[in-house]
């Protein structure tokens, strides 16, 4: 679907996957005016097709649009586009356990003009790809490098928007972490360089004593949909979640006192990713003896069970896609 300043959004269409023509001066190439979303479609054992909280992705898409001076997309129309597109391609949704169809909606500035001002033309596209099981060999903890040289985002910047530049800003640290054998980067805040923000594509939770703590939404981290689901689910189990500033020193102290019980990341790709090790300036901590914690395992089972239509959905999170 295309946008022109004088016509608004127009011409929605479904086309076979193919390369697109772009003007070399399109603003997205030069000024990074673009945003995206990520969600998954699941096939149930009895053949139904489910999306997990897609309305939340579309709300976030428009919050990202707003921050990047991109015009709003009609959320009902976008949901209908998701429905039609997934149903057209439903044969691509894999059947094997743990697999799904990854869906990537995105908007980018197409106006061919080299002036720094919001574009007057955009494209909204949705592409999809089957994805294998994140945990083909069972859920297992990851090792994380805590970044202290580079910064991903600061409050007032674009950290809370799902925009390309945030991910480009993270590549250097990701490379450094991989070279040292770590699969993920944990970002600290850009001002004090000590408050925990989030992991590359996940929000993070820490079980300290009898509480679960996660960084508050401070304007520089992404409001993850899995994060919100985990907070609601833990609440329904009677586990209180504190959303507050949490420094890396507090975490290391809690570990020394034996109060850091478990840690996990949350995001669409892995759903729940237990954290077994953190390395901050060559100080290493092993969390929960490097094993998957009790809450991580339970959250993973319950959330993936709801997403795949295998467990009851008391929160009304799942949307079944039906033909008309
Ligand atoms: N933070 C960032 C930077 C991300 O890219 C993602 C993945 N979308 C998340 C957190 C987790 O968000 P969600 O649970 O909505 O996938």
Determine how β-strand 2-4 pairs with β-strand 100-109: unpaired
**Structure-token pair, residue 224:** 């993850």
Q: Is 165 in the pocket of ligand 1 (CB under 6 A)?
A: no
Q: What is the DSSP string of 174-195?
A: HHHHHHTT-SEEEEE-TTTS-B
Q: Is 201 in the pocket of ligand 1 (CB under 6 A)?
A: yes
Q: Which ligand 1 atom minimizes the distance to the CA of 268?
A: 16
Q: What is the pLDDT of residues 126-148, one digit of tens each?
A: 999 999 988 877 788 999 999 99
Q: Which ligand 1 atom minimizes the distance to the CA of 225?
A: 15
Specify the pLDDT at position 135.
82
ipTM rounded to 2 decimals: 0.99
**Structure-token pair, residue 312:** 């009851």
Q: Is 224 in the pocket of ligand 1 (CB under 6 A)?
A: yes
| Residue to probe by mutation, ligand 1, list 64, 214, 224, most atoms within 8 Å of CB | 224
Q: Is 60 in the pocket of ligand 1 (CB under 6 A)?
A: no
Specify the pLDDT at position 121.
98
Determine how β-strand 142-146 pairs with β-strand 184-188: parallel
What is the dihedral sign for C-alpha 225, 226, 227, 230? positive
Specify the pLDDT at position 300.
96
**Structure-token pair, residue 127:** 């592409």
What is the whole-number distance in angstroms between the Cα of residue 115 and the centre of ligand 1?
A: 31
Q: Is 227 in the pocket of ligand 1 (CB under 6 A)?
A: yes
Q: Which residues of the chain have pLDDT under 70?
A: none
Does this model's pTM top 0.95? yes
| Residue to probe by mutation, ligand 1, list 158, 267, 299, most atoms within 8 Å of CB | 267
User: What is the CB-side half-sphere exposure of residue 183 using CA atoms within 13 A?
Assistant: 12
Q: Is 141 in the pocket of ligand 1 (CB under 6 A)?
A: no
What is the whole-number distance in angstroms between the Cα of residue 68 and the centre of ligand 1?
A: 18
* Residue of minimum CA distance from atom 9 in ligand 1: 202
* Residue of minimum CA distance from atom 12 in ligand 1: 224
Contact criterion met (CB below 8 Å) for 297 and 31: no
| Residue to probe by mutation, ligand 1, list 186, 203, 215, 225, most atoms within 8 Å of CB | 203
Specify the pLDDT at position 322.
87
Q: Is 203 in the pocket of ligand 1 (CB under 6 A)?
A: yes
Contact criterion met (CB below 8 Å) for 117 and 158: no
Specify the pLDDT at position 94.
86
Q: Which ligand 1 atom minimizes the distance to the CA of 162?
A: 5
| Nearest of 113, 107, 315 to residue 230 by alpha carbon | 315
**Structure-token pair, residue 319:** 């949307």
Structural domains in the chain, CATH included, are 2-131 (3.30.470.10), 142-307 (3.20.10.10)
Cβ-based burial of 138 (10 A; exposed 0-12, middle 13-18, buried ≥19): exposed
């Amino acid at each position: 679907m295309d946008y022109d300043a004088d016509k608004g959004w127009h011409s929605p269409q479904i086309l076979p996957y193919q390369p697109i023509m772009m003007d070399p001066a399109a603003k997205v190439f030069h000024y990074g005016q673009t945003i995206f979303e990520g969600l998954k479609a699941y096939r149930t054992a009895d053949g139904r097709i489910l999306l997990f909280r897609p309305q939340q992705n579309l709300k976030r898409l428009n919050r990202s649009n707003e921050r990047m001076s991109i015009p709003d997309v009609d959320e009902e129309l976008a949901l209908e586009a998701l429905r039609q597109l997934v149903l057209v391609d439903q044969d691509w949704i894999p059947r094997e356990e743990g697999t799904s169809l990854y869906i990537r909606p995105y908007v980018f500035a197409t106006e061919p003009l080299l002036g720094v001002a919001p574009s007057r033309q955009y494209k909204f596209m949705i592409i999809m790809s089957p994805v294998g099981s994140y945990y083909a060999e069972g859920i297992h903890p990851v090792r994380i490098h805590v970044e202290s040289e580079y910064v991903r985002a600061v409050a007032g910047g674009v950290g809370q928007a799902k925009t390309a530049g945030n991910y480009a800003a993270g590549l250097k640290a990701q490379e450094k972490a991989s070279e040292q054998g770590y699969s993920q980067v944990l970002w600290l805040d850009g001002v004090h360089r000590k408050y925990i923000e989030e992991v590359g594509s996940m929000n993070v939770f820490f079980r300290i004593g009898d509480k679960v703590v996660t960084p508050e939404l401070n304007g520089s981290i992404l409001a993850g949909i899995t994060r919100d689901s985990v907070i609601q689910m833990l609440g329904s189990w009677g586990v209180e979640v504190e959303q507050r500033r949490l420094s890396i020193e507090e975490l290391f102290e809690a570990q020394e006192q034996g109060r850091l019980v478990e840690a996990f990341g949350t995001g669409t790709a892995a759903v729940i990713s237990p954290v077994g090790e953190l390395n901050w300036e060559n100080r290493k901590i092993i969390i929960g003896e490097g094993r998957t914690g009790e809450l991580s395992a339970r959250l993973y089972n319950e959330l993936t069970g709801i997403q795949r239509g295998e467990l009851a959905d008391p929160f009304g999170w799942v949307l079944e896609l039906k033909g008309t």
